[in-house]
Amino acid sequence: MLASPGVLPAPAEQDAWAYEMKWDGMRALADVRPDGWRLVGRSGKDATTSFPDLAGPHGLADLSARLGGQALVLDGEIVATDDRGVPSFALLQQRMNIARPTPQLMAAVPVSYLVFDVLEIGGNSAVDLPYRDRRRLLEDLDLASAPTDGGLIQVPPVIEGDAARAWQMAEAMDLEGVVAKRLDCPYVAGKRAAGWRKIKRIQEREVIVVGWAEGEGRRSNGLGALVVAVPDGEPAPDRPLLLAGKVGTGFTDAVLDQLLERLRPLAVNEAPVVDPPTGAAGRRIHWVEPQLVGEVAYTEWTTANSLRHPVWRGLRPDKSPHEVVPR
């Protein structure tokens, strides 16, 4: 189930909602059985081998045994935190593209699994239950008080009926924002629903990488900026792409090298957007197949339909181009 962009519920209706923090990580379902466990990302790809450290000890691998042999399907977010304890997508990015991380990488970038929903317990589906009942089931599992090693499995708190308090908490913790969930809302798998709203403190969105522009100065002969686009219209295999501008900040040298390595094999002769730049603006651009999705932070859309002051936040290998929403 996916949250729709929105605003905090009005004071008159806020008692009908619960409020969770919005975590800056990778969404994943955990399928936990007595004989094993696996993680599945939003795209449906198996992510288990990318995060073997979540096995434990006292992690997902022995969770079923600790709960009396019950099978579980959990919904949550994989996060890596910075030195302030705040989830950092930039840190997590170092783990997301690695199928089999080394012990050194796992030690340098440890992760946790933040659980916020339960979809199945003991072979019984919970998706048709309202959120308030699913949350009660999740809390009754007592995952957070189970022995953990470094907080591998956590159940973040929820605030009912007080949107202002939830927003203040998100600001105090310097988090992305708040997710408001109607207490009577069932779980609608794979779809955006009005019963879940995400309210962000900063503007962010996914974009499709359609090319790269050559750099200047220190970046000469290399990648200077990414050329990004957004779809025109609702999800469809052949929907056209509209240019959204260039993203030239937010990169480390290592990230620039990694991106160029990913983009060069995707080179194409023709622009994959319907409105390619002309004249000087179109020079020194190398177009690529629109296969990669990234995330940017930005201030606003300009009158020319470009992102203003975009900052690169990283690739989103857990998302596919057809999932990117229009402007």
Distance of CA 102 to the CA centre of its chain: 23
What pLDDT, on a 0 to 100 scale, did the predictor assign at position 210? 97
Taking only the tens place, the pLDDT of each residue in 92-123 is 988 887 889 999 999 999 999 999 999 999 99
Q: Are 37 and 28 in contact (CB under 8 A)?
A: no
Tally the C-alpha atoms within 13 A of residue 148's C-alpha that lie toward its C-beta.
19
Task: Tell me how far apart the alpha carbons of residues 250 and 312 are, in angstroms, rounded to a whole number.
Answer: 5
What pLDDT, on a 0 to 100 scale, did the predictor assign at position 262? 95
What is the second-level CATH architecture of the domain 203-323?
Beta Barrel (2.40)
Task: Tell me how far apart the alpha carbons of residues 325 and 230 are, in angstroms, rounded to a whole number.
Answer: 7
Q: Please report, to the nearest 10 degrees, the dihedral formed by the alpha carbons of residues 142, 146, 151, 155 taken in order.
A: 0
What pLDDT, on a 0 to 100 scale, did the predictor assign at position 149? 42
Q: What is the mean pLDDT of the chain?
A: 90
Please report where in the chains the tokens 């792409």 appear, as a residue. 241
Q: Are 8 and 161 in contact (CB under 8 A)?
A: no
Query: For the domain 2-200, what is the CATH code?
Result: 3.30.470.30
What pLDDT, on a 0 to 100 scale, did the predictor assign at position 150? 47
Taking only the tens place, the pLDDT of each residue in 123-135 is 999 999 999 999 9
Instruction: Count other Cβ atoms within 10 Å, centred on residue 6.
Output: 14
What DSSP assignment string belongs to 258-318?
HHHHHHGGGB-SS-SSSS---GGGGTTEEEEEEEEEEEEEESEE-TTS-EES-EEEEE-TT
Beta strand extents in 201-277 (DSSP E only): 203-214, 223-231, 241-247
Q: Are 159 and 19 in contact (CB under 8 A)?
A: yes
Is 22 considered catalytic here? yes
What pLDDT, on a 0 to 100 scale, did the predictor assign at position 211? 97
The domain ranges of the chain are 2-200, 203-323
Please report where in the chains the tokens 């708040």 appear, as a residue. 178
Backbone angles phi, psi at 14, to 5 degrees: -65, -20
Distance of CA 182 to the CA centre of its chain: 21
Q: Is residue 228 packed enough to be buried (19+ CB in 10 Å), middle (13-18) or exposed (0-12)?
A: buried
Instruction: Count other Cβ atoms within 10 Å, centred on residue 324.
Output: 22
Q: What is the mean pLDDT of each run of 10 residues along the chain (327 residues)?
A: 90 94 94 95 90 89 90 96 86 86 94 96 96 96 59 90 94 90 94 90 90 83 92 79 94 89 95 90 91 90 86 91 89
